[in-house]
A and B are shown apart, each in its own frame.
Chain A
């Protein structure tokens, strides 16, 4: 049974996920029962009363009130039960406990930015401690998005000009997937994030020091992580193909022409400016759509992404 559940629904990340799955699996077996009933009756009647002779008259069975009430009232009782079950779980999961950690989430085409109670800010990676309720407070800077954590069985639309919240209490440590589930344009399907559920000690340490591995990693590898995790890859390719933004391949040292007719040879300063103030210079042939990353990259990360771009010849 549990392997069927796991095959159909994937991993669970919280106790609530299990609650949802219990109802889901109940509905699966209920559906299997009724579907089997429909198939059996359809096939049985169709075959048993198949036409053996043309032009026969058949009995006039116009209706049967008892039978019709039976198949009206039984489904009604069942679906009312399902309504209360589903709604009850939903309400319980919607209310954040008072001790929940509040993390602000900002969505924009096509990345997720997070801001922690102590001021730490990240993009693409959300760290939370295990077994503590988390309340995300979400808003969007442009169009509708939807923050969806399949393993928590939770999602909410993220609406510009409004704050919505989403609550979950992770019980399973490790990496969980986050998707954008509301269509938002070209890189909608790349607008993902990673949810890291850490032990409390690791979480506290991470808040202060940032990602441990960054400290001992060569800058190029740090840059590669930044490229993959902070959303650069949504718009900038590394194979020379044209995307929303210019490719990083062969970028360093190239002469870029801008929409205002000026040009520049790409160096460390230009890359830094493009990250912190992307609207300052727009490469000809591209739209001015990149959001600013001012304050979102630590110095080693900025060094890393420059080193990484240098490597992509």
Chain B
């Protein structure tokens, strides 16, 4: 499954970049986040208790950043384990542009899921993933500029044939959000 989106955040690019790399900020923006730990500049561990409708599951994710070009872009590879719920892995690209004092954040995620998540279908995968990403960015933008509202323009694209495929791209917090979203979404699909 693939997902991409664009958000306009009323803050300087350097500030957005540093917030994207600050575990405490990220943790505070992810609903249900129980732990964010920065192991080194390129490795993070995250635990999230995610809840969508009737489904709730705790995911532990290990994330690795690569292709870092501060303060413009990076790639994140991630691996999330959700116990009985199954697992998800994938990658995301995050790219920041400046536009008239506003930072435009674009991301693209590719992921696939396994275990129970994969068995139970995909009726709501995209919807749940998008909602989690939107919730995350709404909170993230609010923290960087309390007066601003991020304009969410998330778009998703699912390709069943591609679900078995695991590709790389980046953006680590996106990751957390996207992974968990995907995972949960897949679960909901029964």
Is the A/B pair a real complex?
Answer: no
A-side interface residues toward B, CB under 8 Å? none
